[in-house]
Structure 1
Amino acid sequence: MKEADSILVDGNVITMDEELPSANSIVVKDGTILFVGDKEEALSWLGSNTEVINLKGKTMLPGFVESHLHPAHYALNLLELDCRPKHTSSIETILEKVRMAAESAQDGQWIRGWGWDDSKLTERRNPLRWELDKAAPNHPVILKRTCGHMAVVNSKALELSGISEDTKDPKGGKLEREIGTGALTGLLQEKAQGMAALPDYSFDDMVKGMKLAQKDFAKWGITTVHDMSTQTAELQVYQYLLEQNELNVRIRPWIWAVDQNGWTGLLNEVLSVGIRSGFGNDMIKIQGMKFMLDGSIGGRTAAVAEPYEDDDQTGILYNTVEEVSPFIKQSLAAGLRVAIHGIGERAIEVAIKSLEEASESIDISHLRNRIEHCALPTNDHLRRMKKLELMAASSVGFLYHIGDSYIKNLGTERMKRVYPHKSFKEYGIVAPGNSDLPVTDGNPWTGIYGAVTRKSLSGQVLDDTQNIEVQDALKAYTVDAAYSSFEEQSIGVIKPLAKADLIVVSDDPLTIENEKLKDIKVERTFIGGRLVYSESRKDEAYV
């Protein structure tokens, strides 16, 4: 019998494996799980060099699989002004950060920030360019909203970007103007963000930021991430870190398909090289192509079917079926799966219709194609999604963090079908959960809490219709998310021959009160059997 590298004993192991839901011991060799079961049999793998780890009754789970985030964007955000609500409660506090940054910035240097949320600011409105002008009159400023679907800039930034009062709105975007005067407010919505003439970050900046981001992933117990907007620079950073043995999270890239929102589409390049879904290795594995059809509920730019509350607007639909369907079909025909951002009903309809058209000539039922976010599907959408075996990459993590803005913008009736995990289950649609980091905090426990309780950060009950059980919520962040990349046998689960991606947590989620789910802490994180985070040694997270 093989000698194990490590044996973990006396734990409360929640395996997420239906054949053996629980155990107390695990055997690991060469980064792979050899055995899951009882302590006595596990110790039969004991050798002279085997490390025995006593879990002392602590709960162990498979590492979390984050099905939709933007790791490289989050990485760069960590180098920018942090304007998230927990750090900036008002516009004035944001402006103070901008003033301080301007004092130390070189002449002409862009000041960048991220994370502001008008629904949580004291003033309950967006910052304005004139306010930014006063804080930094000689520097271009851009501050991205938490949703990533809009940003506010100052007059210097507008000038450098060649944007004036006479500039027309781009297709799929909007330059907000002051009611009455028509003056630009500085708010760039959706594709208008791509008009800002921002300088590119350097490769070294991206590496520095990604190292910081990885520490947060490990702290949250995330061992695999799906990058939903991968471009050339990001892929190079991931490969560089892997070559340097400094990649501490598994990356599943979805490559940005067409030019949008200031990001360059790579569909033609990927097609010409001949890369197919699944290309790569255990650490970096290409998933397919990412398309985007609308905005966000929080920013009122998602393409909804009925107007937003107290408004006559129905959001922004980027493309029609006729415009996007050929690209989707081209991708599928080349062996590239697709993930299509669709939040509002109109965007979800375009996504499904495009895939239905592709299915007329290509068998797509086995490809596990995805609709990203999938916030407001109708029953008809769910029926058609099941017929095509589509997945709903559900941003259920939004419920806790920005659910208050959702119910404000959609009303109570529509809220009953937002990120409808109960309905997904009833229709047999696999729906991995996600945070869409940096749109919301990346801690999976807040997403699990929201899926179970349907409560927001303020304690507001958003609805009592779509609640799911804790076990199903855990599946959404483990084995169901792994299913999305055809890896449900190797990640997101604790079973023989799976990767030893494991987390030790402070409490048993299956027995703790639901209200305490959001407070569960990750105490240790292992990737391939290697300890990458220890809560007891926070200052040396990677050991």
Structure 2
Amino acid sequence: MGNVRLKIRAVLFASTLLAGTSSLPAIGAEPDVILYNAHILTVDDGFSTAQAVAIEDGKFVKVGSDAEVLDTAGEATRKIDMKGKTILPGFNDSHVHMLAGKTFGVQVDLTRVRSIADIKAALAARIATARPGEAISGSRGWWEYQLSDGRLPNRHDLDEIAPNNPVAIAGPHYAIVNSLALKMAGITAQTPDPQGGEIYKDASGEPTGLLMDRASRPVMALFARPTPEQQFEGMVKVIRLANSNGLTSIGDPSGSVEDAALYRRLYDAGKLTLRVDFSYSVDHALPLDKVEAALKTFGPAGQAWGDGMFRADELGEVALDGAELSAFLRDGYPGKPDYHGIQMVPTEHFKAFAALANRYGWRLRPHAVGDAAIDEALDAFEFANAEKPITGRRWMIDHAFLLGPTHYPRVKALGVVINSQYMHNAQLGKLILKAWERPLADRSEPYREWLENGILFANGSDGPIAYDACPLYQIYGSVTRNTKWGGKLGPDQGISRRDAIKSVTINGAYTSFEEKVKGSIEPGKYADLVVLADDILAVPAENIKDIKILATVMGGRTVFGTLEQ
């Protein structure tokens, strides 16, 4: 009887796929597991709630009341009383640098530092066991506003603990290096700023050790890559961490052919417990013939394997500007009217790049923070669209801090999707305020205005996964506009809890054309869900960020915690 039932379901499922729908009929189904007595926020079109859900073969097969769903149980069905716990679709971080996990455990961990002295102590401990001349790198996960010194470290600080080893510590779109690293990279007072980068210099014209964006590349080339086994083990650790934050899907915005192969190796070893929307990286500043040669090494756009585990049809994160201190702005920076930030590549070149990518079937997701960078992205999109339509292909702009009213009609006309990350305001808002001042700083990520103007955005973290890839905090910040540094940017731009939840679930699925198979709890979709200890719609807003994640399930498999409470 069981074989007959499976054959019936297989025929019915095939017919639904041919009809262009993902709904999987529950007729004849005998679920593997039923979760009942739950508070389920389905995030379907009506944001409906349910009491129970049935899962079979890694997919949801029935959603409804306890009575309706329990009626589908068979003799072997496992039935779990959720005791009123809240269940949401699995979270989706649409922009997270998961591949930073390759260096997890290799770099010096700076995620808990609170002063320059802490940074120096952590680095000194590693240097004490290193060979003279061995390059030492420190991790991200620390922020200028957290340092009690009120400033960034400089090369002189690092020289005190590392006179004989090149040292670099990473920040958002910059690196801070010591004097030996500068010397080995050939960076002196006479070195000009590269296109797309800036070498900070003191009053005497000497480099301070702060290298913005592309200016850091000669130094970072000095540092050895982790071994393949170190990369694999680092990725296993960060994937587990991601699952513990409720993540079942991610968008990794930049990677190589070797990185795609690493994801496949993780999958084959049974260690990939996240669905990956992958973007290949190509240096968009290269001559177009070299760009084209690189595109040919990637294989065709639209790669996919593993039943929803990996897909790749994007090129990213092609940067058009820097970050808070170097975003490409239409108007000059406060106090520096002639400084407009960093333009990574000339507009005409990026137009040609976009058209070339489009010919090969790739979607773009450029990094554009400032309003002028967003202008450049849209100029290029429109140029590519004139040759071969991109409307409806969901090209994206990542970050888009200063996306504003002049951009909205162009975004909607092309069907562009925005990948935003509230974590920027949360972590770097103090730096944004310092660099841009009000009122411009209050224009950073105006979510309420975006929704009122029909702009669809997905939320993410932009973090190496080792820190802050926490969707509950993204929901909390999007609702309250609160931050980790104590202030607020755009305090009137908070959105509803429902819209914030959508931004880390169904909207993320939309960015990768997967809203029919994930992002909500509906029959036929992948059984990806997260179990919360509290009702996210009912707790005080201030408590959203502190809700405990009890379990994360991907494809019907528990990948974090336990369903038995």
Length-normalised TM-score, structure 2:
0.89
Work out the CA distance in 2 between the residues paired with 1:245 and 1:279: 17
Corresponding residue number in structure 1 for 2:183: 159
| 1:400–1:446 contact (8 Å) kept in structure 2 | no
Residue in 1 aligned with 2:170?
A: 144
Aligned to 1:541: none
CA RMSD of aligned residues (A): 2.0
C-alpha change, 1:383 and 1:433, in structure 2 (3 Å) is same
SS at match of 1:408: helix
The residue type equivalent to 1:339 in the other structure is R
Q: Which residue of 1 aligns with 2:512?
A: 485
Given that 2:102 and 2:226 are in contact with CA atoms closer than 8 Å, whether structure 1 keeps it comes out as: no
Cα deviations across residues 55-108 of structure 1 (Å, max 9, x unaligned)?
Answer: 110000000111101101144245322223xx1111111011111110012333
Contact 2:34–2:53, Cα closer than 8 Å, also in 1? yes
Between 1:156-165 and 1:380-389, the stretch displaced more is 156-165
1:528 aligns with 2:552: no
Whether the 8 Å contact between 1:400 and 1:449 is mirrored in structure 2 is no
Shift of 1:238: 0.5
Map Cα deviations across residues 337-373 of structure 1 (whole Å, 9 max, x no partner): 1101100011111000111111112111110000100
Q: Deviations over 1:452-475 (max 9, x none)?
A: 111211332322332111100000
- Correspondence for 1:328: 354
* 2:189 match: secondary structure: coil
On the 8 A contact 1:416/1:466 being kept in 2, the answer is: no
What is the one-letter code of the residue matched to 2:199? L
1:249 corresponding residue in structure 2? 274
Deviations 1:384-420 (A, max 9, x none): 1111110111122222222222223222312332112
Q: Identify unmatched segments of 5+ residues in structure 1.
A: 538-543
Query: C-alpha distance in 2, partners of 1:210/1:260?
Result: 29
Aligned to 2:206: 183
> Contact 1:74/1:437 (CA < 8 Å) preserved in 2?
no
Residue in structure 2 matched with residue 506 of structure 1 by the alignment: 533
Pairs aligned (count):
527
> Matches of residues 57-72 of structure 1 in structure 2 within 5 Å?
57-72=84-99
Residues 276-317 of structure 1: CA distance to partner in whole angstroms, max 9, x if unpaired? 1354341111131112101111xx011122333444432111
Q: How does 1:304-383 map to 2 (within 5 A)?
A: 304-312=329-337, 313-383=339-409
Q: Which amino acid aligns with 2:223?
A: L
Q: SS at 1:98's partner residue? A: helix
Aligned match of 2:6: none
Q: Name the CA shift for 1:24/1:78 in 2 (closer, same or farther; >3 Å).
A: farther
| TM alignment of 1:163-312, pairs within 5 A | 163-179=187-203, 181-196=204-219, 197-258=222-283, 268-271=293-296, 274-277=299-302, 279-281=304-306, 282-290=308-316, 291-297=318-324, 300-312=325-337
Q: Quote the offset at 1:267 in angstroms.
A: 5.7
- 1:97 corresponds to which letter in structure 2? A
Letter in 2 for 1:133: D
Assess, with a 3 A threshold, how the Cα gap between structure 1 residues 65 and 2 changes in structure 2: closer, same or farther.
same
Q: 3-state DSSP class of the match of 1:292? A: coil
The worse-fitting range, judged by mean Cα deviation, of 32-41 and 58-67 is 32-41
**Partner SS, residue 464 of structure 2:** coil
User: Does 315-324 or 15-24 show the bigger shift?
Assistant: 15-24
Q: Is the 8 A contact 1:277 1:337 kept in 2?
A: no
Partner SS state of residue 537, structure 2: coil
% identical aligned pairs: 30
Greater Cα radius of gyration, structure 1 or 2: 2
> 1-side partners of 2:511 and 2:371: how far apart?
23
Asked if the contact 2:104/2:235 (under 8 Å) is kept, the reply is no
Aligned-partner residue type, residue 487 of structure 2: Q
Q: Which moved more, 1:508-517 or 1:412-421?
A: 412-421
Do the aligned partners of 2:444 and 2:490 also contact (CA within 8 Å) in 1?
Answer: no
Answer whether contact 1:255 1:266 (CA < 8 A) is retained. Answer: no
Q: Which residues of structure 2 form unaligned runs of 5+?
A: 1-27
Asked if 1:433 is matched to 2:459, the reply is yes
Structure-1-length-normalised TM-score: 0.93
Q: Once the two structures are superposed, what CA deviation does each residue of 1:247-272 show, in whole Å capped at 9, x if it has no partner?
A: 111111011121679xxx97633335
Take 1:154 and 1:487, find their aligned partners in 2: how far apart are those partners? 46
